[in-house]
Amino acid sequence: MPELYEVMFRRRDVRAEFTGEPVADETLRRVLEAAHSAPSVGMSQPWDFLLIRDLATRQAFYDHVQHERDVFAATLQGEEAERFARIKIDGVLESSLSVVVTYDAARGGPAVLGRHAIADAGLYSVCLAIQNLWLAATAEGLGVGWVSFYREPFLSELLGIPEGVRPLAWLCLGPVSKLQEVPDLERHGWRRRAPLEDFLHFDKW
């Protein structure tokens, strides 16, 4: 199988397998250059990357994530609550570092080519960069874990993100003991992947 497909299928959303070993500067650089090579609407490149190594910052974020975990858990009942209790939702403290990716809607403005009719197009660009980062990290033998149990205002305050810039992702990053063959949520019975056929339409919905 070509490397590209192999990497796409091997990629996982990592929580428990981070080793905490350091990431070499040149490796991190390649991963970030991959992210930065993503397409963006009107070539606005509306992303920024915050590299978070400071332990106090990560601890503060971790504590917030645990609180939000409780908020979500309180919405569940019965078997669903039991399944969720077994699922680890972050590797903030165990991973080598985190990369926070943000979206600046003012970048390249006011006339961003391709965004006048779809305000969210800039948001989409940042996500494309995140997937490049994720694949590059996987190819480099690293794991990535996207943590989304947080409130955006908390994260903006914690990291001094200016008004008008929106944090899109907290990504844990670093070497891993292994990548699971089956995604965590499937292994823990939370939800199964459905086949491509279920998602295809021809000419009309």
Considering only residues 80 through 99, tell me which ones interact with its own copies, judged by CB under 8 A.
80, 84, 87, 89
DSSP structural state of residue 23: P
Say how many residues touch its own copies, by CB under 8 A.
91
Question: Among 171, 20, 166, 12, which residue's Cα sits nearest to residue 102?
Answer: 166
Collapse the DSSP code of 30 into the 3-class scheme (helix H, G, I; strand E, B; otherwise coil) and give the result. helix
Residue 11 or residue 142: which is nearer to its own copies going by CB?
11
Tell me the C-alpha to C-alpha distance, in Å, between residue 28 and each of 20, 124, 142, 157: 14, 23, 10, 26
Region of 8-16, 18-26, 173-181 interacting with its own copies (CB under 8 A): 8-16
Find the DSSP H helices in 12-118: 25-36, 55-73, 78-85
Contact map string, positions 159 to 178, toward its own copies, x by CB under 8 A: xxxx--x--xx---------
Residue 21 or residue 80: which is nearer to its own copies going by CB?
80
Among residue numbers 36 through 75, which ones bind its own copies (CB under 8 A)? 36-39, 41-45, 47-54, 57, 68, 71-72, 75
| Minimum separation from the CB atom of position 81 to its own copies (A) | 10
Which listed residue (22, 82, 120, 177) binds its own copies by CB under 8 A? 120
Which secondary structure element, helix H or strand E, spans residue 97, and what is its range? strand 97-104
Collapse the DSSP code of 134 into the 3-class scheme (helix H, G, I; strand E, B; otherwise coil) and give the result. helix
The pair of three-digit structure tokens given for residue 11, joined into one six-digit string: 């990629």
Q: Rule CB under 8 A: say whether 105 interacts with its own copies.
A: no
Question: 167, 155 in Cβ contact below 8 A?
Answer: yes
Q: Rule CB under 8 A: say whether 157 interacts with its own copies.
A: no
Q: Rule CB under 8 A: say whether 26 interacts with its own copies.
A: no
Question: 17, 143 in Cβ contact below 8 A?
Answer: yes
Which listed residue (151, 164, 177, 178) binds its own copies by CB under 8 A? 151
Which listed residue (76, 85, 93, 106) binds its own copies by CB under 8 A? 76
Which listed residue (34, 171, 173, 176) binds its own copies by CB under 8 A? 34
* Rg, the chain, Cα only: 18
Which listed residue (17, 61, 95, 139) binds its own copies by CB under 8 A? 139
Go through the chain and tell me how many residues it has.
205
